[in-house]
Structure 1
Amino acid sequence: MSKVDLKNFKFDGLQQEAITDLNALSEEDKDQLLMAGVVSDLSTRSASYLQMDQSAVHCQSKDDGVEIMDIKEALKKYDGLKEYYWTLVDKDKDEFTRSAHDNLHGGYFIRVKAGAKIKDPIQSCLMLKSENVGQNVHNLVIIEEGAEAHIITGCSVAHGTKSGAHLGISEFFVKKNASLTFTMVHNWSESVAVRPRSAGVVEEGGKFLSNYVLLKPVKDLQMYPSIELNGPDSVARFNSVVVATEGSHLDMGNRVIMNAPETRCEIIARTIASGGTIINRGHIAAHHTPSKGHLECQGLILGSGRIWAIPELDGSLEGVELSHEASVGKIAQDEIEYLMARGMDEDEATSTIVRGFLNTDIMGLPERLQKEIDKQIDELQSSNAM
């Protein structure tokens, strides 16, 4: 992992004005947001949050079951959020957590009230608008007992922005019999450094389902979210679809720690290196029985690039059930020949295989977001002359 020098970025003085209506954004910025799964038409969203550079510029909830605000306001309202804020991530973990702690710019606070079943997704976006901006955010998500919600969070640069640093702390709390689907789409650019630090806890009967999509270039990304299943019958699932283009260096993965009986988890990653480097990590630890976990890391190399798959299973009791599959390689020639024998040319055959490999249908994404992801896959295939 290359060194990120925070002194190269501006962590002060880049404030942005409030935006009442997201439709007032430029067409270019709206397009950038859409490529990160964030829509300007809020008729299909229950709540929305947008941060640009070092300012929360938009925050609105249309559902009584959803409380959403800038983290700074939440800290004032709830007396520092002592039960939650900085309880899962160590503020002294590294220079990036220290930067976020010492110079907080913003971030979203999302609370879904007990028993609320939120029909439309909640959306949030963290955008780098200025050149060479440094952005420190802290996100806090609380899904109260029996509640259900889907959060779509997009991280993006503005149109024309090339360089920046995003340091994002996220802490998730899924209460008893609650359910959170958390979908993250990254839409960065070639000279952006990204350092998320994320952790969560799931209580009895709770579910945490994570989808992650990265198809656009990013210079340097390092993330390893960790979820603890602390109550019986709790579940965690991670699905990732990732592409490392030329010049991208990605060190990423997921960790699940099963601290209670009757827990289940699954980590599935699909990665493509098309000129870039991917270190794909996965770690499942089981400390109670019965518990069951499966880890799957599948990698394709298109042209040049490099993929390390590093699966780890940690069982501490007789009777835990943990399994993993890992593979790295190229598209099999016999698969291409099979499709060519049915009338496709070589480019079409390769394109079909890649599209199947990067299938995001399993994520249950909203139709509009799914179409945008399909569009990104088409652009990827075009850029690689498939």
Structure 2
Amino acid sequence: MAALDAVQKRLFQEVADLHNIPEGAYNLRANGESVGRNTTANIDITSKTDVSGIDIRIKDGTKNESVHIPVVLSQSGLKENVYNDFYIGENCDVLIVAGCGIDNCGSQDSEHDGIHRFYIGKNSRIKYVEKHYGSGDGTGKRILNPVTEVYMEEGSTMEMEMVQIKGVDSTDRTTIAELKGDAKLIVRERLMTHGKQYAGSIYKVSLLGNGSSADVVSRSVARDDSYQKLDLCIIGDAACSGHTECDSIIMDNGRILAVPSLEANNIDAALVHEAAIGKIAGEQLIKLMTLGLTEAEAEEQIINGFLK
């Protein structure tokens, strides 16, 4: 494995909780180059030959294993597109940890656009964790535009944890999923913007098979002069069930646009959406301030609890 500097090590800790080399399969990437890779008997990682990126192939029946594929950028002005494809066999149970951290101390924009495609076999269960983080005191922006595509076979389950709570100046996040019969998708998104940051988050989930289901929940906080757009769409083409929820806190001069949509193309499609945008309740602040916290400290406690 290539030597990492202190900034790169910190970024890996922030986006993937990596303090040491992870167990199992991994592909670590820094400033556009692979800095470490490991495969196992059941999980193979190979580089693409036509574009930048990797193929991850997981054998049938693989259980209790993990794949770590985080990316970090510490070079100002670096921009990259990476394509990662996951081919997951049947009857698997695997943890996949991705994410990107950018530290920009220069004057040029740094950008990482990652396209992840998941092909999940029958009756497999995948937990996917994707964290985004930005830092650095430069004037150049930290830009992340992730695209996630999920194609789920019968009886499979995908649980997605999507987190971005600090330092990213601009992001357009797009998630597309197609579910066959009895497949189940669970999404928990946590998002915070501040300063003049922008975050767009799009979900388009197609429930194609009988018994398929999706539960997509987004919690967000917009502070200062930041702007968020949340676009959640579930399409029911079969006897299925879908639920989306947007729950947002708006502060200072922040702005939030929530665009929920449901499309039922089958008489037995049961689809529900919930949305709420509001400020922190005054009684919550007062209660915490009576315990000795300042108003700012009380706000932080409420926000941390909300995004947990």
Q: TM-score, normalised by structure 2?
A: 0.91
Report the counterpart of residue 39 of structure 1 in structure 2. 18
Equivalent position amino acid for 2:274 in 1: E
Which ranges in structure 2 are unaligned for 5 or more consecutive residues?
Answer: none
Q: Is the 8 A contact 2:75 2:104 kept in 1?
A: no
Q: Is the 8 A contact 2:188 2:216 kept in 1?
A: yes
For these two proteins, the number of residue pairs brought into alignment is 302
| Greater mean alpha carbon deviation, residues 184-193 or residues 252-261 | 184-193
Q: CA offsets per residue over residues 10-51 of structure 1, 9 Å max, x none? A: xxxxxxxxxx25xx3112210121111251512x43121122
The separation in 2 between residues aligned to 1:335 and 1:209, in whole angstroms, is 32
Give 1:335 deviation, angstroms. 1.9
2:13 pairs with 1:64:
no
Report the counterpart of residue 167 of structure 1 in structure 2. 113
The separation in 1 between residues aligned to 2:190 and 2:146, in whole angstroms, is 17
Identity across aligned pairs (percent)?
24
Secondary structure in structure 2 of the residue aligned to 1:294: strand
Give 1:136 deviation, angstroms. 1.6
Give the alignment partner of residue 319 of structure 1, picking from 264, 268, 282.
268
The 5 Å alignment of 1:109-148 reads: 109-119=55-65, 121-148=66-93
Q: CA offsets per residue over residues 138-185 of structure 1, 9 Å max, x none? A: 010111100111111121124746621222222111110011111001
Q: Is the 8 A contact 2:104 2:142 kept in 1?
A: no
The separation in 2 between residues aligned to 1:118 and 1:107, in whole angstroms, is 25
Secondary structure in structure 2 of the residue aligned to 1:36: helix
The separation in 2 between residues aligned to 1:109 and 1:158, in whole angstroms, is 27
Give the alignment partner of residue 268 of structure 1, picking from 217, 225, 233.
217
Closer/same/farther in 2, CA of residues 134 and 341 from structure 1, 3 Å limit: closer
Structure with the higher fraction of residues in helix conformation:
1
Equivalent position amino acid for 1:328 in 2: I
Closer/same/farther in 2, CA of residues 345 and 194 from structure 1, 3 Å limit: closer
2:6 pairs with 1:27:
yes
Q: Is the 8 A contact 1:234 1:263 kept in 2?
A: yes
Report the counterpart of residue 122 of structure 2 in structure 1. 176
2:280 pairs with 1:335:
no
Give the alignment partner of residue 131 of structure 2, picking from 185, 189, 192.
185
The 5 Å alignment of 1:1-386 reads: 20=1, 24-42=3-21, 44-61=22-39, 63-72=40-49, 104=51, 106-119=52-65, 121-158=66-103, 160=105, 163-189=109-135, 191-230=141-180, 232-275=181-224, 276-289=226-239, 291-341=240-290, 344-359=293-308
Give 1:348 deviation, angstroms. 3.7
Equivalent position amino acid for 2:230 in 1: N
Structure with the higher fraction of residues in strand conformation:
2
Q: Is the 8 A contact 1:54 1:136 kept in 2?
A: no
Give 1:210 deviation, angstroms. 0.9
Q: Is the 8 A contact 1:71 1:140 kept in 2?
A: no
Secondary structure in structure 2 of the residue aligned to 1:260: coil
Q: Is the 8 A contact 1:128 1:135 kept in 2?
A: no
